[in-house]
Structure 1
Amino acid sequence: MSLDIQMASMLASAVMGLWLGSSLDTYERVLGKRKAFRWTRALNDFLFWVAQGLIYFGVLLYVNNGEVRFYLFLAVLFGYAAYRALFERTYRRFLETLLRIISGIYQFLVRFTYVVFINPTKGLLKLVVHLGMILVIAIWGILSFFLKWTFWPIFKLIKFADDKSGQPFKKQRLKIAALGRSLGHIFNKFRKKP
C-alpha cells in the first residue's frame, strides 16, 4: 500500500469515526436510552453495528481495496474522540432541531390528510347513509300506504268470515298481527335514529 493510499485510508477512517459518533447519537436519540434488556433492542443494536461495519468496510473497499490495518482502527477511534470532544453538542442541537422540523412536518401532513381526505369522506358517507335512510323511509311509507289500502278489504273479509264461523283462524291471525307489530316497532327504532 503506497503512502498516498495509507493517508487516504487514515483520513477516511477518521471521517468514519466522526460518522460513527454522529450515527450513534442519532440512533440513541431516536430509540431512546436503554432502560432494561429487551430482545428487540438487542436485535436493533446488533443490526446497527453490522450496518456500521459494512459501511466502514465499503469505504475501505473504495479507498484501498478493503485492506484493514490496526492503525486504521486507531484512526476511527481518533475520529470518534474528535467528534465527542468537538462536534457532539453542535450535532445534538442540530439533531434536535431537525427532529422537531420532521415532527412538525409529520403532524402537518397528518392534519392535512384528515382535513382534506378523511373528514370529507366521513361526511360523504354519513350523507349517503342519511339519504339512504330517507329513501328507505319514503319507500316504506308509500308501500305501507298501498299495502294497507290494498289488503284492507281482504282483512275485513277475513275478519267477517272469522266472526261468522266462530273464529277458527284466530291464533294464526294473532301471530301474523304480532309479527307485523314487531316488524313495525323495529322499523320505527331505525327511523328515529338519524
Structure 2
Amino acid sequence: MTLTVQWMTMAAMLLSGIGMGIVFDGYRVVSNELKFPRWWLPVLDIVYWMAAALAVFRVLYASNNGEVRAYVFIGLAAGVIVYYFLLSKIVIGTVKWIVRAVRALIAFILRVLDFVIVKPLLLLYKLIKVILGFGSALTIFLLKIVLQLVRPFWRLLAWMTSPAVRPLARWLGPYVAKWRLQERVSKLGFTIAQLWSKWLRRPPRT
C-alpha cells in the first residue's frame, strides 16, 4: 500500500471522526429538545454506534479496501478530538437554532390553519345554529298564528261532526285509556322538544 493511499485513508478517517461527532451531538440535542423518554436513549445509542461502525467501514473499504491499520484508529481519534475542541459548540448551537426554527414554523402554520380553516368553520357553525334557531322560532310563531286562524273553523267542524263523533269516542274511550295514548304522545313531544333544545344549545367542537 502506497504512502498516498495511507494518507488519504487517514484523512478519510479524520473526516469520519468529525462526522461521527456531528451526528452524535445532533441526535443528543434533538432528543433533549424534544423530551424523548429516558429509556429511548440507550436504544438510540446502540443504533448510533451500529450506523457509525457501518459508515466508517464503508469509508474504509472505499479508501484502502477495508484494511484495518493503526493509522485508521489514529485518524478517527484525531477527527473526534478536533471536532469536540473546535466544532462541538457551533454544531450544538446550530442544531438548537434549527429545532427552535422548526417549532416556530410549525406553530405559525398551526396559527394560519386555525385562522383560515378552523375559525371560519366555527363561525359558519354558529351562523347555521342561529339561522336554525331563528327559523324554528319563526315556524312556531307562524304555526301559532295559523292555529288561531283555524280555531273557528275547527270549532265549527267539531260542532257539525259531534253527533257522529261522540258515540265513536265513547266506543274508543276504553282502548285509549288502556293504551295510554295521550300520555305516550305527550312524552314523545316532550322528548323531541328536549333533543331539539339540546342540539341548539350544544357548544361547537374545537
What TM-score bracket applies, with the shorter chain setting the length? Answer: 0.7 to 0.9
| Residue 43 (structure 1) shift | 2.0
Checking the alignment, whether the CA contact within 8 Å between 1:162 and 1:170 is kept in structure 2 is no
Q: Which residue of 2 aligns with 1:161?
A: 167
Alpha-carbon deviations, 1:102-131, whole Å to 9, x = none?
Answer: 22112212222333334444555x369749
Tell me the secondary structure at the aligned position of residue 98 of structure 2: helix
- Aligned partner of 1:170: which letter? V
Moved more, 111-120 or 67-76: 111-120
Report the AA paired with residue 15 of structure 2.
V
Instruction: State the TM-score, normalizing by the size of structure 2.
Output: 0.69
Return the alpha-carbon distance in structure 1 between the equivalents of residues 94 and 116 of structure 2: 32
**Matched residue SS, 2:174:** coil
Conservation of the 8 A alpha-carbon contact between 2:26 and 2:91: no
Q: C-alpha deviations, 1:41-98, integer Å up to 9, x for none?
A: 3222211111112222222233333333232122111111111112222222222222
State the shift of 1:100 in Å. Answer: 1.6
Mapped contact 1:60–1:66 kept (Cα < 8 A): yes
Q: Distance in 1 between matches of 2:189 and 2:85?
A: 81
Q: Which amino acid aligns with 1:188?
A: A
Aligned match of 2:4: 4
Structure 2 regions of 5+ residues with no counterpart? 201-206
Please list every run of at least 4 consecutive aligned residues from structure 1 whose deviation after the TM superposition is greater than 6 angstroms.
140-143, 156-159
Aligned residues: 184
Unaligned runs of 5+ in 1: none
Q: Where do residues 102-181 of structure 1 align in structure 2 (5 Å cutoff)?
A: 102-124=102-124, 126=125, 130=129, 160-161=166-167, 164-165=170-171, 167-172=173-178, 175-181=180-186
Q: Secondary structure at the match of 2:173?
A: coil
Once residues 119 and 42 of structure 2 are traced to their aligned partners in structure 1, the CA distance between those partners, rounded to angstroms, is 41
Task: Give the C-alpha shift of residue 161 in structure 1.
Answer: 3.3
Partner of 1:21: 21
Query: Is 2:83 aligned against 1:83?
Result: yes
Counterpart amino acid of 1:55?
A
- Give SS of 1:67's match: coil
Counterpart Cα distance in 1 of 2:195 and 2:165:
31
Shift of the 162–60 alpha-carbon distance from structure 1 to 2, 3 Å rule, reads same
Aligned-partner residue type, residue 19 of structure 1: G
Partner of 2:31: 31
Q: Which amino acid aligns with 2:189?
A: G
1:42 has 2:47 as partner: no
RMSD: 3.8
| Cα pair 2:16 2:76 within 8 Å, conserved | yes
Q: Provide the residue aligned with 1:185 in structure 2.
A: 190
CA distance in 2, matches of 1:137, 1:172: 35
> TM-score scaled to structure 1, two decimals?
0.72
